[in-house]
């Protein structure tokens, strides 16, 4: 931990566990920032501001606020209130609008390191935002820890374990498909966020096994258009007792059509099929 930089006692703020975790994650980012911009700018200096919205509000930094500022904004049960950060003290990503009742959002700010002047005082810059719910209208450009404990990253992972990443960064699993005890043909589209996969290189992992022994084959195929033409890759399972097959396919799509998964059944007996799709580039 950065010398002199300590997470404040959160027990008296009445926060649920999800938001406590969010604030702790915010302080982890502060510690990372301290290593990048120098501990002198952040050491021993954190202010927590807790605001409950009962109407529209412009938020200003309190007098004497520390170099690192965590701003907790609570939306009351009525919902629909808006808030903005005062441009005199904040260099934020812009105003936000909370339209969901009982949503809590934690913003993390750090004060600029440039020497302030009377005409150009140092302002707080937003570096992260965490929420107990993805409230409509709140900026989706920063990482969030949502109420179920899941971390949502709107952007790519560009650095991992202190080393720069390439391609998509940390490959996300965008689609899965599971078919258990099947005795017929199945087909589905492997999509990203409910739409055609954007142009790029993907990794489709397939595992298929005999559920009930029979005669004949199941052919599991993945197809898409790489911009030159339709490409199809497959693995074949003979439905004999105890049999299984697996493969990893790297389809390249131009985004014009879906990446399609088809299990063609020409047999007796039954099979199980498990599929995941990740994006690499």
Q: Give the CATH number for residue 210.
A: 2.60.120
Q: Which residue has the higher pLDDT, 188 or 8?
A: 188
- Say if residue 252's pLDDT is above 90: yes
Q: Report pLDDT for 220.
A: 98
Q: Report pLDDT for 1.
A: 37
| One domain, residues 112 and 20 | yes
Give the Cα separation of 187 and 141 in Å (integer): 35
| One domain, residues 126 and 77 | yes
Give the Cα separation of 104 and 98 in Å (integer): 9
| One domain, residues 26 and 96 | yes
Please count the CA atoms within 13 angstroms of the CA of 188 that sit on its side-chain side: 15
Which token pair is 143?
């990482």
Residue 5 in domain: no
List, in order, residues 6 or more apart from 27 with CB less than 8 Å away: 5, 7, 46, 70
| Mean of per-residue pLDDT scores for the chain | 78
Query: In Å, what is the CA distance from 248 to each residue of 148, 176, 222, 277, 280?
Result: 32, 14, 10, 10, 13
| One domain, residues 222 and 143 | no
| One domain, residues 18 and 124 | yes
Q: Which residue has the higher pLDDT, 93 or 238?
A: 238
| One domain, residues 250 and 223 | yes
Other CB atoms within 10 Å distance of the CB of residue 148: 8
| One domain, residues 105 and 68 | yes
Give the Cα separation of 76 and 52 in Å (integer): 7
User: Does pTM surpass 0.75?
Assistant: no
pLDDT by residue (tens digit) across 59-109?
888 887 777 787 878 777 777 788 888 888 887 655 566 656 767 777 778
Q: Note the maximum CA span of the chain.
A: 84
Q: Report pLDDT for 89.
A: 84
Residue 46 in domain: yes
Q: Report pLDDT for 273.
A: 98
pLDDT by residue (tens digit) across 182-217?
999 999 999 999 999 999 999 999 999 999 999 999
Residue 149 in domain: yes
| One domain, residues 50 and 147 | yes
| One domain, residues 190 and 142 | no
Give the pLDDT band (50/70/90) at residue 47.
Answer: confident
| One domain, residues 140 and 26 | yes
Residue 161 in domain: no
* Domain boundaries, position 243: 173-279
Choose the final residue of a domain: 125, 155, 185: 155
pLDDT by residue (tens digit) across 256-274?
999 999 999 999 999 999 9
Give the Cα separation of 154 and 147 in Å (integer): 16
Residue 162 in domain: no
Q: Report pLDDT for 64.
A: 78
Choose the final residue of a domain: 129, 155, 181: 155
| One domain, residues 102 and 181 | no
Residue 260 in domain: yes
Maximum mean pLDDT: which of 18-32, 113-127, 267-281: 267-281
Residue 164 in domain: no
Choose the final residue of a domain: 155, 183, 207: 155
Give the Cα separation of 156 and 148 in Å (integer): 21
Q: Which residue has the higher pLDDT, 184 or 23?
A: 184
| One domain, residues 82 and 121 | yes
Domain count, the chain: 2
Which residues sit opposite 48 in a β-bridge?
70
């Amino acid at each position: 931990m950065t010398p002199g930089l300590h997470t404040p006692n959160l027990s008296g703020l009445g926060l649920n566990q999800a938001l406590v975790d969010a604030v702790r994650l915010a302080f982890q980012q502060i510690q990372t920032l301290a290593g990048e911009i120098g501990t002198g700018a952040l050491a021993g200096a954190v202010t927590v501001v807790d605001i409950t919205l009962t109407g529209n509000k412009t938020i200003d930094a309190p007098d004497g606020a520390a170099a690192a500022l965590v701003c907790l904004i609570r939306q009351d049960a009525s919902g629909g209130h808006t808030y903005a950060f005062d441009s005199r003290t904040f260099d934020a990503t812009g105003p936000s609008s909370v339209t969901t009742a009982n949503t809590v959002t934690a913003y993390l700010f750090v004060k600029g390191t440039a020497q302030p002047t009377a005409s150009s005082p140092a302002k707080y810059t937003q570096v992260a935002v965490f929420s107990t719910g993805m409230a409509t209208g709140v900026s989706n450009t920063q990482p969030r820890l949502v109420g179920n404990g899941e971390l949502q990253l709107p952007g790519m992972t560009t650095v991992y374990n202190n080393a720069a990443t390439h391609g998509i960064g940390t490959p996300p699993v965008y689609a899965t498909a599971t078919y258990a005890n099947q005795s017929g043909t199945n087909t589905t589209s492997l999509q990203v966020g409910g739409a055609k996969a954007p142009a790029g290189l993907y990794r489709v992992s397939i595992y298929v096994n005999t559920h009930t022994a029979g005669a004949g084959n199941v052919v599991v195929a993945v197809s898409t258009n790489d911009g030159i033409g339709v490409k199809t890759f497959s693995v074949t399972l003979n439905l004999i007792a105890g049999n299984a097959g697996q493969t990893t396919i790297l389809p390249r799509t131009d985004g014009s059509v879906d990446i399609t998964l088809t299990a063609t059944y020409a047999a007796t007996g039954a099979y199980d099929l498990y599929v995941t799709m990740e994006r690499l580039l």
